[in-house]
Amino acid sequence: MTTIYDVAQRAGVSPATVSRALSGAKGVSEATRQKVLAAAKELHYSPNYIARSLKKRQTNTIALIISDITNPFFTTLARGVEDKASEHGFNTIFCNTDEDPKVEAAYVELMLRRQVDGLLISSCSDGESLRLLARKDVPVVLVDRRITHSRWDYVIGDSEYGAYALTRHLIEVHGKRRIAIISGPLVLSTSRERIEGYKRALREAGVVLSPEYIRVGAYKEEFGYQAMRELLAGSFSVEAVFAGNNVIAVGVIRAARELGVRVPEDLALVTFDDFDLLSALFPFLTAAKQPAYTIGAIAVEMLLERIRGEKIRERREVVLRPEIIIRKSCGCP
Amino acid sequence: MTTIYDVAQRAGVSPATVSRALSGAKGVSEATRQKVLAAAKELHYSPNYIARSLKKRQTNTIALIISDITNPFFTTLARGVEDKASEHGFNTIFCNTDEDPKVEAAYVELMLRRQVDGLLISSCSDGESLRLLARKDVPVVLVDRRITHSRWDYVIGDSEYGAYALTRHLIEVHGKRRIAIISGPLVLSTSRERIEGYKRALREAGVVLSPEYIRVGAYKEEFGYQAMRELLAGSFSVEAVFAGNNVIAVGVIRAARELGVRVPEDLALVTFDDFDLLSALFPFLTAAKQPAYTIGAIAVEMLLERIRGEKIRERREVVLRPEIIIRKSCGCP
DNA sequence: CTGAAAGCGCTTACAG
DNA sequence: CTGAAAGCGCTTACAG
């Protein structure tokens, strides 16, 4: 491996000068710079960023901790993160927690050891596994899910609004009353806020439902499936379902299909998060589509500001309104 | 930041001993180890992996260079990579090239500077942009796309077989003859091999077509769209289309829809790569589904073997057969 | 079993 | 403008 010393020798200058010339620092004469550049080229010199990172205490790397890159919402968010980060010379390490707080905590610990300059986190807990992070002063921006009692900036979609709009649509346009919600766990802000929005729409319409209509579990396909089966098996005569997110929606559809329940004829369905490609091919699901790419891109910008050490005292809270896309699954033509 | 020196002082031993105790090396007495562990804990010591990487000349990091994480095939492949890599204590840096060789070359260069221990690459060129890599002896495993004249291991799907099976299905089961292919660029092995498979099926069936039925372009939605429009506008009376990959298929469907051409009634469609979620919800597209997750996982294992320096002389060529999933878009009930 | 010392490949005050 | 020197935080022969 050729180092800065080899280049220095070849160019007949000191390593310090090579470093300056290569980094484009000013105090270097043009002649020297050319000599160094030529030597570096001849030797196919490639600087070692690990050494630089150690010295500068900056790695130009950020971590993105999410539940699953395979979830289209996170895929798009991740792309937004990668694009914006690399635009600024940062690379991104991706971590999938599969909604397991233990895995999340382990990844956070590992990323800290790797000296990432900052972290983007969609936490699968209410911050419990992030307690060790709170003690450090490494920059963090929360994405998709906020943690109320933390001081970190966040960029999220407006869950309350999306849920409200979706539920209200079912009530007003389609005259549904018996609307169930199949929600993620209450430790997550998205779940709580979507339930709030759902409740507000019902309240405004004067609909009173048994608590059984609210199913709280996990953002997992299997939970959507189970919950839907239970709802269909019970004597609730559910007319419509609000799936807490796209993964749950998949389970809901599977359950409905198995039981011969047709969507939307027998059961109206609305959901959070869109499936981009699917919707391009088969515009079917009525959904609250969050600006996933933008969430990722904005989060990176905010993180980089913190990394640069810009003095921003207050916690920044960015809440982006989802787009309500009316298609067929709710019963619209 | 607390370092190994702080821990050493606290434990009343030398930094060398701390290093040994923490790394679990053997030559350390149990008593000393406990003292060190206790001191490390009290001080919330977190080892700096950058320093370790510099010394050990190993970063435990690999790079995954693909065209677009947003493409479901690569999303799943990436998940396979991340799972397998982290299982072995490696982290993954993701790079999206958007099929631009310049971007690819820049990423490769950058990853080398970052001292990744190895690279997984789905190259968007025929290796041109990887020329500088060929000179180094950093481990590389090609995924999804092979480069014939290189010495690197690869893990890919069997494009020739998949294309053959798909085309043959159109001919034998549906009696189609006028089958067009909308293919990616010829610099990519996947394109060439899919065209080969397509041609073999036609040849065996004694079908002779004008070269106009073969459209070569890019793995881009826009190209699928344009090519489909041209095919439909011409006097080819195309009965069926083989879309070179999933992205092209999306463009094909958009074009057909715009022109009021129904799939499969007016036009049969088969494609490479499945859309996992979409297919779970709407089983419609007949496709050659490549084992994307497995491709990623196997590629990592092979890469790690190279990184460990295991002496494997020959180039390893893993070709995984895609599953032919017959659904409705080809005309099957 | 333990420690002193060198070194991984850079950057950057400090002098001149 | 240029160089000698120190140091980033580890690991690991080499001694003892």
Q: What percent of chain A has pLDDT over 90?
A: 85
The string of pLDDT tens digits covering residues A289-307 is 999 999 999 999 999 999 9
Range of the domain at B127: 59-157+292-322
Q: Can you give the pLDDT at residue A295? A: 98
Domain containing residue B251: CATH number:
3.40.50.2300
Please state, as a whole number, how many other Cβ atoms lie within 10 Å of the Cβ of residue A310. 9
Q: Which residues of B108-147 are buried (b: 16+ CB within 10 A; e: fewer)?
A: bebbbebbbbbbbbbbbbbbebbeebeeeebbbbbbbbbb
For the cut 90, the answer to whether the pLDDT of residue A188 exceeds it is yes
Q: Can you give the pLDDT at residue B163? A: 98
Same domain, B204 and B308: no
Q: Can you give the pLDDT at residue A127? A: 76
Q: Can you give the pLDDT at residue B137? A: 87
Same domain, A240 and A302: no
Same domain, B101 and B90: yes
Q: How confident is the model at residue A37 (pLDDT cuts 50, 70, 90)?
A: very high
Give domain status of residue B327, yes or no: no
Same domain, B192 and B259: yes
Strands (E), chain A: 61-66, 91-96, 118-121, 140-143, 153-157, 179-183, 214-216, 240-243, 268-272, 286-289, 317-320, 323-325
Q: What CA–CA distances, in Å, run from B32 to A47, B7, B13, B25, B41?
A: 39, 12, 8, 12, 14
Give domain status of residue A52, yes or no: no
Same domain, A120 and A179: no
Give the residue nearest to nucleotide D12 (CA to C1'). Answer: B16
Range 19-48, chain B: CB under 7 Å to any strand C atom: 20, 26-29, 31-32
Residue-wise pLDDT tens for chain B (333 aa)?
899 999 999 999 999 999 999 988 877 888 899 999 999 999 999 999 999 999 999 999 999 999 999 999 999 999 999 999 999 999 999 999 999 999 999 999 999 999 999 999 999 988 778 888 988 889 999 999 999 889 999 999 999 999 999 999 999 999 999 999 999 999 999 999 999 999 999 999 999 988 999 999 999 999 999 999 999 988 778 999 999 999 999 999 999 999 999 999 999 999 999 888 778 888 899 999 999 999 999 999 999 999 998 888 899 999 999 999 999 999 999
Q: How confident is the model at residue A28 (pLDDT cuts 50, 70, 90)?
A: confident
A134 Cβ within 7 A of any nucleic strand C atom = no
What is the average per-residue pLDDT within A298-327?
95
Same domain, A199 and A116: no
Q: Can you give the pLDDT at residue A142? A: 97
Same domain, B267 and B172: yes
Give domain status of residue B85, yes or no: yes
Give domain status of residue A115, yes or no: yes
Same domain, A272 and A214: yes
Give domain status of residue A331, yes or no: no
Any chain B CB within 8 A of the CB of A104?
Answer: no
Same domain, B221 and B278: yes
* Shortest distance, CA A38 to any CA of chain B (angstroms): 18
Q: Can you give the pLDDT at residue A254? A: 93
- Tokens in use for B272? 């490479």
Contact A46 B112 (CB under 8 A): yes
The string of pLDDT tens digits covering residues A124-143 is 988 778 888 988 889 999 99
For residue B183, list its beta bridge partners.
Answer: B216
Per the structure, how many domains does chain B have?
Answer: 3
Q: Can you give the pLDDT at residue B127? A: 76
For the cut 90, the answer to whether the pLDDT of residue A25 exceeds it is no
Residues 200-259 of B with CB under 8 A from A: 246, 250, 253-254
A177 Cβ within 7 A of any nucleic strand C atom = no
Give domain status of residue A263, yes or no: yes
The string of pLDDT tens digits covering residues A162-173 is 999 999 999 999
Strand A240-243, strand A214-216: pairing: unpaired
DSSP code string of A82-123: HHHHHHTT-EEEEEE-TT-HHHHHHHHHHHHHTT-SEEEE--
* B178 contacts B209 by C-beta, under 8 angstroms: yes
Q: Can you give the pLDDT at residue A148? A: 85
Same domain, B150 and B168: no
Q: Can you give the pLDDT at residue A300? A: 98
- For A274, counting Cβ atoms within 10 Å of its Cβ (0-12 exposed, 13-18 middle, 19+ buried), the class is buried
The string of pLDDT tens digits covering residues A53-64 is 999 999 999 999
- State which amino acid sits at residue A47: P
Any chain A CB within 8 A of the CB of B47?
Answer: yes
Same domain, A204 and A286: yes
* B4 contacts B18 by C-beta, under 8 angstroms: yes
Give domain status of residue B189, yes or no: yes
A54 Cβ within 7 A of any nucleic strand C atom = yes
For the cut 90, the answer to whether the pLDDT of residue A244 exceeds it is yes
What is the average per-residue pLDDT within A231-236?
85
The string of pLDDT tens digits covering residues A192-227 is 999 999 999 999 999 998 899 999 999 999 999 999
> How far does the CA of B1 sit from the C1' of C1, in Å?
29
Give domain status of residue A24, yes or no: yes
SS3 of residue A62 by DSSP: strand
Same domain, A128 and A165: no
Domain containing residue B28: CATH number:
1.10.260.40
Contact A282 B278 (CB under 8 A): yes
